[in-house]
């Protein structure tokens, strides 16, 4: 298994407000830009500690703007051309369908039965018009299977959780409510997942 240096995009205003983003293209806020630059510093240190340079890893991001902007700020910390990286749609965030733009309390008030069901079946139950985590797990499993070497990936919290399950490093119950840090680097390796911030 190649090593994956996984970075969640920096904060957006919708993150700060607790709104479901999913496929919506919400830009980074000021804190998000700081977090992205910090993740670049952490990554630079990790690559040096692992005896690697930028030439030893591929760079790929989700096509959503918040992930692309984060990748460009990360690459700037490595003194690399900001836009010289690949995009892979399989890394996009879980689609929340009709819930995008709303907060959890709003969904709980508007759809109490669905909200209650999702609390006990988060991995298998989709928001109306959205995806299940099972579907996301399958697309990130396919993405990881295609990797040919160590990779820096910038994507989302949902895809990070799904990747943990897809690689057999955790269970749906173990990651369903796991917070995924912004400004950190998650290192996926045959030994498990480590977080560096």
Judged on CB neighbours under 10 Å (0-12, 13-18, 19+), 145 is exposed
**What is the sign, positive or negative, of the torsion defined by CA atoms of 95, 97, 100, 106?**
negative
Angle 133-145/157-166 helices, nearest 10 degrees?
Answer: 70
Please say whether the beta carbons of 130 and 96 come within 8 A.
Answer: yes
For tokens 């949902």, the residue is 158
Concerning whether 38 is annotated as a catalytic residue, the answer is no
Catalytic residue among 93, 100, 131, 156: 93
Q: State how far the Cα of 157 lies from the Cα of 141, in Å rounded to an integer.
A: 15
User: What distances in angstroms separate CA 94 from CA 113, 139, 159, one per listed residue?
Assistant: 21, 10, 7
Beta strands per DSSP E along the chain? 4-8, 58-61, 86-87, 151-155, 185-189, 192-196
CB atoms within 10 A of CB 52: 14
Catalytic residue among 9, 38, 69, 156: 9
Concerning whether 9 is annotated as a catalytic residue, the answer is yes
Active-site positions read: 9, 93
């Amino acid at each position: 298994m190649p090593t994956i240096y996984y970075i969640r995009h920096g904060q957006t205003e919708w993150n700060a407000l607790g709104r479901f983003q999913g496929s919506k293209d919400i830009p980074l806020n000021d804190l998000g830009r700081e977090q992205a630059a910090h993740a670049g510093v952490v990554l630079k240190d990790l690559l040096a500690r692992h005896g690697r340079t930028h030439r030893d890893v591929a760079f790929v991001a989700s096509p959503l703007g918040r992930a692309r902007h984060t990748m460009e700020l990360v690459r700037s910390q490595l003194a690399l051309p900001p836009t010289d990286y690949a995009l892979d749609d399989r890394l996009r965030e879980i689609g929340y369908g009709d819930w995008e733009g709303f907060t959890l309390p709003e969904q709980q008030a508007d759809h109490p039965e669905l909200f209650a069901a999702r609390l006990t079946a988060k991995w298998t139950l989709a928001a109306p018009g959205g995806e299940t985590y099972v579907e996301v797990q399958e697309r990130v499993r396919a993405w990881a299977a295609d990797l040919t070497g160590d990779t820096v990936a910038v994507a989302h919290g949902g895809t990070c959780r799904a990747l943990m399950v897809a690689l057999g490093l955790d269970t749906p119950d173990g990651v369903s409510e796991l917070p995924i840090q912004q400004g950190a680097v998650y290192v996926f390796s045959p030994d498990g997942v480590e977080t560096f911030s």
